[in-house]
Amino acid sequence: MTRQYFGTDGIRGTVGQPPITPDFVLRLAHAVGRVLRKAGGPQVVLIGKDTRISGYMLESALESGFNSAGVDVVLLGPVPTPAVAYLTRALRASLGVVISASHNPFADNGIKFFSAQGTKLPDEWELAVEAALAEPPVWVESAQLGKSRRLDDAAGRYIEFCKSTFSNDMTLRGLRVVVDAAHGAAYQIAPKVFHELGAEVVAIGCAPDGLNINSGVGATHPDALVAAVAAHRADYGIALDGDADRLQVVDRDGRLYNGDELLYLLVADRIARDEDVPGAVGTVMTNMAVELALKARGVKFVRAKVGDRYVLEEMHRHGWLLGGEGSGHLLMLDRHTTGDGLVSALQVLQACVGSGRTLAQLLAGVTLFPQELINVRLKPGTRWQDNAALTEATRAVEAELGDTGRVLIRASGTEPVLRVMVEARDAAQARSAAQRIAAAAQG
Cβ pair 364, 371 in contact under 8 A: no
Residue 374 carries which side chain, given as an amino acid letter?
A: I
CB neighbourhood size of 382 (10 A): 16
Task: Spell 413-425 as b/e; 16+ CB within 10 A means b.
Answer: eeeeebbbbbbbe
- 164 catalytic residue (yes or no): no
Considering only the C-alpha atoms of the chain, give the largest distance between any 2 of them, rounded to a whole number of Å: 71
Distances (CA, A) of 369 to 137, 286, 399, 405, 424: 54, 10, 18, 8, 6
Distances (CA, A) of 308 to 6, 130, 267: 15, 22, 18
Distances (CA, A) of 107 to 116, 164, 260, 306: 30, 35, 29, 24
Backbone angles phi, psi at 257, to 5 degrees: -115, 130
Distances (CA, A) of 44 to 80, 94, 113, 221: 19, 5, 13, 37
Phi/psi class of residue 141: alpha, beta or left (left: φ > 0; alpha: ψ in -120 to 50)? Answer: beta
Backbone angles phi, psi at 5, to 5 degrees: -110, -40
Asked if omega into 19 is within 30° of 0 (cis), the reply is yes
Helix 341-355 × helix 189-196 angle, to 10°: 20
Cβ pair 338, 85 in contact under 8 A: yes
Measure the CA–CA gap between 137 and 344, rounded to whole angstroms.
Answer: 42
User: At a CB cut-off of 8 Å and minimum separation 6, what does 168 contact?
Assistant: none
Q: Would you give the distance in Å from CA 76 to the centre of its chain?
A: 20
C-alpha gyration radius of the chain: 22
In DSSP terms, 72 is beta-bridged to 44
Q: Which one of the listed residues 94, 100, 102, 115 is annotated catalytic?
A: 102
DSSP letter, residue 200: E
143 by Cβ neighbours in 10 Å (0-12 / 13-18 / 19+) ranks as exposed
Residues with a catalytic annotation lie at 102
